[in-house]
Amino acid sequence: MADHKELLNLIDPHKMPKHIGIIMDGNGRWAKKHHRPRLFGHRAGAKATRQAVELAVEIKLPVLTMYAFSTENWSRPASEVTGLMKLLKELLIKEIPDLDRQNVFLRFIGSPENVDQALWQEIQAMTAVTHGNTGLNLNIAFNYGGRQEIIEGIKKLFKTSESNPEFISKLSPDVLGRYLYTAGHPDPDLIIRTSGEFRLSNFLLWQSAYSELYISPVLWPDFDKSEFCKAILDYQSRNRRFGGIEAT
């Protein structure tokens, strides 16, 4: 297998994506494959997350959005959800000082609904330490759902329109985008999904209208820097037409 440094040399710095989204899938199957509990898989997945962030910093990626916990994940066994919340807090305490040193701006996107309010406030307080940083913008999609995000955006639009009746008549996709969690960020150029599943699973539904999709058969805990480089190289091999035709 090629070292990620060798693959980095193949990446064209002039064709880099500005925003990459990752659906981190396969922790549970990885744990089952290794005859371990599901939380063991989530811990292994956390190491893969660190590698992905390190590579994003290395290639000077502007925005990385990682799908950590969906609004549908509350339906998992209570013991797994509780374990995930504990793991999240543990990882933030451990990783934020290093992210801060790497000039990473970390924020969580998603809804506080159903989240323990003490945990939510701790998350906001811990991530605020990084909010003066100017490097990679790292979004962790936590208690996130694409449909819910759009609904919340529409509610915000409605409040604005109450005091400005002409606002709705001038509504455009760009304007709606300003009311979503990812406001201020470009739409993802590339969305990566691991574990071989061919679906978006309610991730960045509005923003992914013209995203390139890359499906990796690799389970998330095994998705290392080399695999990330392969995804970027595949992206760079594509001709993005955005509904138009190829230039001749």
**pLDDT tens for residues 139-182?**
999 999 999 999 999 999 988 888 887 888 889 999 999 999 99
Q: What is the mean pLDDT of residues 76-99?
A: 95
- Residues 15-236: name the CATH superfamily: Decaprenyl diphosphate synthase-like (3.40.1180.10)
DSSP of 33-57: HTT--HHHHHHHHHHHHHHHHHHHH
What is residue 164's predicted lDDT score, i.e. its pLDDT?
84
Residues classed as catalytic:
25, 73
Q: State the burial class of residue 89 (Cβ atoms within 10 Å of its Cβ: 0-12, 13-18, 19+).
A: middle
- The residues spanned by each domain of the chain are 15-236
pTM of the model: 0.94
C-alpha dihedral sign at 144, 145, 146, 147: negative
